[in-house]
Amino acid sequence: MRVLLMSSFCAASHVGSVASSFVLRRLGVDVCVLPTTQFGRHPGWGPPGGGVTPPDTLRAMWDGVRAQINERGMRFDAVMTGYMGAGEHVSLAAEIIDALSPAHVLVDPVMGDWGKNGDPGALYIPQERAEAICDLLVPRAQIVTPNAWEWRYITGSLDEPRHAPPRPLAGMRETLVTSVVEGERIGAMLFENGHTHRVMHARFDGMPNGGGDALAADYLARRLLGVAPGEALQRSVGEVFALMRRADELDAGELPLARAQDVFDSAERLELVSEETEL
């Protein structure tokens, strides 16, 4: 199996394509990365260094990949998109999806989040780019993995009470919503084929970035390898929870991907709750 992954690259931080490609490869899925940024570190640490990949450069990289497809028979089973550093990146991603027509397209619509202490949250990319993701990428996806705030932005439901549970996206094969809060716990909900699956766990304070990137990649890898949606959710959430717990134990500012990679073989199975979806 091989995935074309289009997302951010941060040299010294385990986020974006660094986290996603590690997880995919660790689970036996090959990856081709088109980096939408070339940062030295995650901006949350301070000035990241580097910059957004110029759209012409990224397109030229895609031209090289496409030549390899045509000349060497390289094939892709899935496309996965994450952080888009420019509006032109979004349109290029749409072109790539159309050109490859893979069986699986996973869109992680990285665009915003809740604020702290009850703050309503906001976009952290320009609105025009967020709207392009909603208009060009989400409709091309079979799997979409927004966090709870992004789900509300995509569905135009930011004015609903924050505790209101998410619902499936219309026409989407699999809607996986992360950072869903239930009382004192947090976790993910998956909607697929008329069923709702949820896996919840204890919250952490001050966890490193990259958990969403790792979870989306883990879920995609499991699906590519033939794991059913509910079990894929259970395994991916359990494994990322184990990574987070290990980061907490090690007081690590970044996901301890290499040091804690045993979690992909030995993580505890968290409780999976499945039921018919109420529309």
Inform me whether the pLDDT recorded for 118 exceeds 80.
no
**Poorest-pLDDT segment among 50-54, 203-207, 227-231:** 203-207
Share of the chain above pLDDT 70, in %: 99
Greater confidence, 71 or 121? 71
Per-residue pLDDT, 120: 81
Question: Above 80 in pLDDT, residue 143?
Answer: yes
Confidence at 117, pLDDT banded by 50, 70, 90 = low
Report the range of poorest mean pLDDT among 79-88, 104-113, 199-208: 199-208
Helix spans in 16-72 (H): 16-26, 55-72
Tens digit of pLDDT for each residue in 232-269?
999 999 999 999 999 988 988 999 999 999 999 999 99
Q: Tell me the pLDDT band of 279, cut-offs 50, 70 and 90.
A: low
Domain extent listing, the chain: 2-276
Q: What is the CATH number of domain 2-276?
A: 3.40.1190.20
Q: What pLDDT, on a 0 to 100 scale, did the predictor assign at position 114?
A: 87
pLDDT, tens only, 171-200: 999 999 999 998 889 999 999 999 999 999
pTM of the predicted structure, to 2 decimals: 0.97
Q: Give residue-wise pLDDT tens across range 19-31.
A: 999 999 999 999 9
Tokens matching residue 78: 């899935």
Q: Which residues contact 188 (CB under 8 A, 6 or more apart)?
A: 176, 177, 178, 179, 180, 198, 199, 215, 233, 237
Q: What is the mean pLDDT of the chain?
A: 95
In angstroms, the CA 62 to CA 34 distance is 7
Mean pLDDT for 83-109 is 98
What is the per-residue pLDDT across 246-256, written as a single tens digit (0 to 9) for each? 998 898 899 99
Which pairs from 270-273 meet CB under 8 Å and 24+ separation?
Answer: 270/187, 270/199, 270/200, 270/201, 270/234, 270/237, 270/238, 270/241, 271/199, 271/200, 272/197, 272/198, 272/199, 272/230, 272/231, 272/233, 272/234, 273/197, 273/198, 273/199
CA distance 77 to 220: 11
The CA-based angle 157-131-122, given to 5 degrees, is 55
Q: Return d(Cα 202, Cα 185) in angstroms, integer.
A: 5
Q: Give the confidence band of 278 by pLDDT, cuts at 50, 70, 90.
A: confident
Query: Which of the residue ranges 27-36, 49-58, 78-87, 116-125 would you say has the lowest mean pLDDT?
Result: 116-125
